[in-house]
C-alpha cells in the first residue's frame, strides 16, 4: 500500500478523534448498552434476549451514524472547505486519497464500535447469555457492513456535497433492505420470466446489507459458520472494491 494512503488514513483517524463526533457517539452507545443491562424489569429469559437486541441495535445504529457522519464529510468536506487544493497539490494520486479516506474511516469506526461490542460481551458473560465468540463475529459482520457503507458513501461523495452524500447513502442502505420485499412482490405480481430474471439480477447486483445481519443467530444462540464469515468478507471486499473503483474514477475526472 502506498505510504500516502497510510498518511491520509492516519489523518482521518485523527480528524475523527478531534472532531469529537465519533468518541461522543461511541460513549453514548456504550452508555445505552450499560443502562439496558441494568434494567431488570423484564421477565426471566426475555431479559438477556432484550439486552442483546438492544446492544446489537445500538452498535448498528451508532456505528452507521458514525460511518455516515465521518465519511460524508471526507471528500466532499475537503472540497467544500477548499482544503483539497493543498492536498492535491502534494505528490499524492487521487485514488490514494480516496483509499486513504476509506481505510482511515474503517479504522476509526472499528475503534468506535469495539468498546460497544466489548460491553455487550461483558454482560453476556456475566449473565451466561450465549457464546462470546458469536458476539465478536456479529461485531465483525457489522463492521463489514460499515465498510461497505463507507465505500458507498465515498463513491457518492466523489460527485456530491456532504449533505447529499449522507442522504443518498441512507437511501442506498434502506433500498438494500427493501429489495428483498421488492423481489418478493415482483415474484407475486408477475408471471413473466423476464421480470423475474430482472428482479433476480437486481438482487445479485445491488448492495445487500442483509448479508451482514447475523443478529438473529447471536440473540437466539446459534452458531455463525466460519465459512459464512469468510464468504461475507469476500462479498464486502468485492462490493467495496466496486464502489471505491466508481468513486476513484469519478474523483479522477473532477476538477477543482
Residues 103-132 that bind another protein (CB under 8 A): none
Burial 163-201 (b: 16+ CB within 10 A, else e): eebbebbbebbeebeebeeebeebeeeeeeeeeeeebee
CB of 248 to another protein, least distance (A): 10
* 227 is a site residue for another protein (CB under 8 A): yes
How many residues in total does the chain contain? 256
Query: What gap in Å lies between CA 248 and CA 241, rounded to an integer?
Result: 10
CB of 164 to another protein, least distance (A): 21
* 68 is a site residue for another protein (CB under 8 A): no
Looking at beta carbons only, is 34 or 246 nearer to another protein? 246
Looking at beta carbons only, is 56 or 119 nearer to another protein? 56
Query: What gap in Å lies between CA 168 and CA 12, rounded to an integer?
Result: 22
CB of 117 to another protein, least distance (A): 15
For another protein, the binding residue among 24, 125, 197, 225 (CB under 8 A) is: 225
* 214 is a site residue for another protein (CB under 8 A): yes
For another protein, the binding residue among 39, 61, 133, 163 (CB under 8 A) is: 61
230: left (phi over 0), alpha (psi -120 to 50) or beta: alpha
Query: In this structure, what are the phi and psi dihedrals at residue 192, rounded to the nearest 5 degrees?
Result: -80, 135
For another protein, the binding residue among 33, 60, 112, 130 (CB under 8 A) is: 60
For another protein, the binding residue among 27, 28, 34, 50 (CB under 8 A) is: 50
CB of 202 to another protein, least distance (A): 11
* 35 is a site residue for another protein (CB under 8 A): no
Looking at beta carbons only, is 26 or 236 nearer to another protein? 236
82: left (phi over 0), alpha (psi -120 to 50) or beta: left
Query: What gap in Å lies between CA 97 and CA 244, rounded to an integer?
Result: 11
Match 464469515 to its residue by C-alpha cell. 229
Query: Pattern of binders to another protein over 74-103, x per CB under 8 A?
Result: -------xxx-xxxxxxxxx----------
CB of 136 to another protein, least distance (A): 15
Q: Which stretch binds another protein (CB under 8 A): 23-31, 65-73, 191-199, 243-251?
A: 243-251
**183: Cβ contacts below 8 Å, ≥ 6 apart:** 199, 200, 202, 203
* 222 is a site residue for another protein (CB under 8 A): yes
CB of 185 to another protein, least distance (A): 5
Query: What gap in Å lies between CA 99 and CA 252, rounded to an integer?
Result: 13
Amino acid at each position: 500500500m502506498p505510504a500516502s494512503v497510510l498518511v491520509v488514513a492516519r489523518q482521518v483517524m485523527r480528524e475523527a478523534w478531534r472532531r469529537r463526533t465519533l468518541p461522543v457517539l461511541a460513549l453514548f452507545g456504550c452508555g445505552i448498552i450499560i443502562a439496558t443491562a441494568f434494567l431488570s424489569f423484564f421477565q426471566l429469559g426475555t431479559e438477556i434476549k432484550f439486552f442483546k437486541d438492544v446492544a446489537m441495535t445500538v452498535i448498528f445504529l451508532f456505528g452507521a451514524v458514525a460511518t455516515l457522519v465521518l465519511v460524508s464529510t471526507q471528500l466532499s468536506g475537503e472540497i467544500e472547505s477548499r482544503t483539497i487544493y493543498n492536498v492535491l497539490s502534494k505528490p499524492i494520486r487521487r485514488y490514494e486519497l480516496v483509499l486513504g479516506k476509506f481505510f482511515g474511516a474503517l479504522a476509526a469506526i472499528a475503534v468506535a464500535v469495539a468498546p460497544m461490542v466489548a460491553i455487550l460481551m461483558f454482560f453476556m458473560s456475566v449473565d451466561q447469555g450465549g457464546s462470546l465468540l458469536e458476539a465478536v463475529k456479529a461485531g465483525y459482520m457489522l463492521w463489514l457492513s460499515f465498510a461497505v457503507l463507507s465505500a458507498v458513501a465515498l463513491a457518492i461523495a466523489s460527485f456530491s456535497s456532504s449533505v447529499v452524500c449522507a442522504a443518498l447513502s441512507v437511501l442506498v442502505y434502506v433500498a438494500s433492505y427493501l429489495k428483498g420485499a421488492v423481489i418478493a412482490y415482483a415474484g407475486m405480481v408477475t408471471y413473466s420470466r423476464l421480470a423475474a430474471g430482472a428482479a433476480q439480477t437486481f438482487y445479485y447486483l445491488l448492495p445487500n446489507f442483509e448479508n451482514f445481519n447475523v443478529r438473529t443467530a447471536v440473540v437466539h444462540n446459534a452458531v455463525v459458520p466460519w465459512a459464512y464469515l469468510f464468504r461475507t468478507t469476500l462479498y464486502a471486499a468485492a462490493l467495496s472494491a466496486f464502489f471505491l473503483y466508481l468513486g476513484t474514477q469519478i474523483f479522477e475526472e473532477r476538477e477543482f
